Amino acid sequence: MKILVGIDVQPIDEVEASIREFGARYSRRLFTIHELESCGENPLTMARGLAARFAAKEAVLKILDTRGTVPSWKAIEVRRTEGGQPEIVLSGEAAELARRQGVGPMALSLSHGGAIATAVVVAQLKKRQFGTSR
């Protein structure tokens, strides 16, 4: 059994700056409605929440073999379970890549401190389905 780990960090001030400059155009292009609702409307908590979610999307991209196909950002979604835990939900090309590469369900941890948000994703590499170079 092989374990895959992806990690990424995202400066929160970069997200704040993008929201200031581009507003809703920025947030709606990168994040799903669920992700936006999860982060609320308070500018401070929204920016750090979105920064952590962007880091999670990037962490997932580090787990998947994206040579040839790079999923869109919204195909990798951070959802909150009923218990409040964050989880990764893949759709479209991201889900197809994971299936083809035998990447199992992903565990996610988000954090932020000071100016940085970070995400760690862990997944199990299952038996390959077909045709992957991993």
Partner 1 sequence: MSNVDATIREVLDTHGRLPMVASSLSDDDDLFENGLTSHASVNVMLALEDAFDIEFPDELLRKSTFESVGAIRSALESLGVVVTPG
**Binding site residues, partner 1, CB under 8 A:** 10, 14-15, 18, 21-22, 25-26, 29-30, 54, 58, 61, 70-74
Minimum distance of partner 1 from residue 131's CB (angstroms): 20
Residue 12 per-residue DSSP state: H
Residue 40 per-residue DSSP state: -
Minimum distance of partner 1 from residue 27's CB (angstroms): 10
Residue 133 per-residue DSSP state: -
The residue among 17 and 44 lying less far from partner 1, judged by its C-beta, is: 17
With beta carbons less than 8 A apart as the criterion, state whether 107 and 46 touch: no
Q: Sign (positive/negative) of CA torsion 20, 21, 24, 27? A: negative
Minimum distance of partner 1 from residue 82's CB (angstroms): 29
The residue among 69 and 85 lying less far from partner 1, judged by its C-beta, is: 69
Q: What does the block give as tokens for 112?
A: 């932020």
